[in-house]
Amino acid sequence: MADLEWRFDRTTSRGHEVLEAVVFASFGGASLLLGYAIAVLGLRAIVGEVRWLDALVAAALLGAGLAVAHMTDGSTDRSDDAFGLRRLVAVTVLGACALAAVATVSFEAMLLGFVGTFVPAGLVRGTCRSTGSVDLDSGRVNVDGRRTRVRDVEAVRTVPLRVATVVWFSQRPDAEEPLRAPFVVSPGTARELASILDG
């Protein structure tokens, strides 16, 4: 059994859950608005002006889009899914409402609002997560599928960022399996890594 195992993602971090909400709100909201506009314009060209059609199209798009998104969001265990369908519906609708409100100012403002939330949140969500373990019996350190030997780690370097900590290893120059790329963990995990590998 490993001396230390960690997982820093939406299943263990409130910050990641918030980032996931922002990503779904911005992308889901924009997708919902775009799908709604295309469907309504297309159906009005075919059928003519019918008011109840707008609501029907919106409901159908929301239901179909959210069902597909929920089935393909990368989760394998639905029993403890940290980002359930109700939350997905809520943030997508909130995102669509927020973007629609910003669109009343100008299309450029809506585009800037989308890019200004989706891109940073997606980048942080994608890069600031990690899984790994330290096993002193086997002498191995695993981080995101990459491995190195415990004896090759000379020091654990950290940069604390309040809710997370950037970690990287200073390794021996002759390390057989160097693992020098930085990764992000919770502050508690960073302290445990330093305690095990520096101690």
Residue owning tokens 């989706």: 118
Edge-first strand listing for the sheet containing 4-8: 4-8, 130-135, 140-143, 146-149
Question: So what's the pLDDT on residue 82?
Answer: 47
What is the amino acid identity at position 143?
A: V
Indicate if the pLDDT at residue 143 is higher than 90. yes
If you average pLDDT over residues 120-134, what whole number do you get?
Answer: 89
48/121: higher pLDDT? 121
Domain ranges of the chain: 9-127, 129-198
How would residue 90 be classed by pLDDT, with cut points 50, 70 and 90? confident
Q: Tell me, what's the pLDDT at 188?
A: 92
pLDDT of residue 50: 64
pLDDT of residue 76: 44
Nearest alpha-carbon partner for 124 in 95, 163, 157:
163
Does the pLDDT of residue 74 top 60, yes or no? no
- For residue 159, pLDDT over 90 is answered with yes
* Three-state DSSP string of the chain: CCCEEEEECCCCCHHHHHHHHHHHHHHHHHHHHHHHHHHHHHHHHHHCCCHHHHHHHHHHHHHHHHHHHHHCCCCCCCCCCCCCHHHHHHHHHHHHHHHHHHHCCCHHHHHHHHHHHHHHHHHHHHHCCEEEEEECCCCEEEECCEEEEHHHEEEEEEEECCCCEEEEEEECCCCCCCCCCCEEECHHHHHHHHHHHHC
Note whether 164 and 144 are within 8 A (CB).
no
Q: Give the Cα separation of 8 and 193 in Å (integer).
A: 14
- pLDDT exceeds cutoff 90 at 174: no
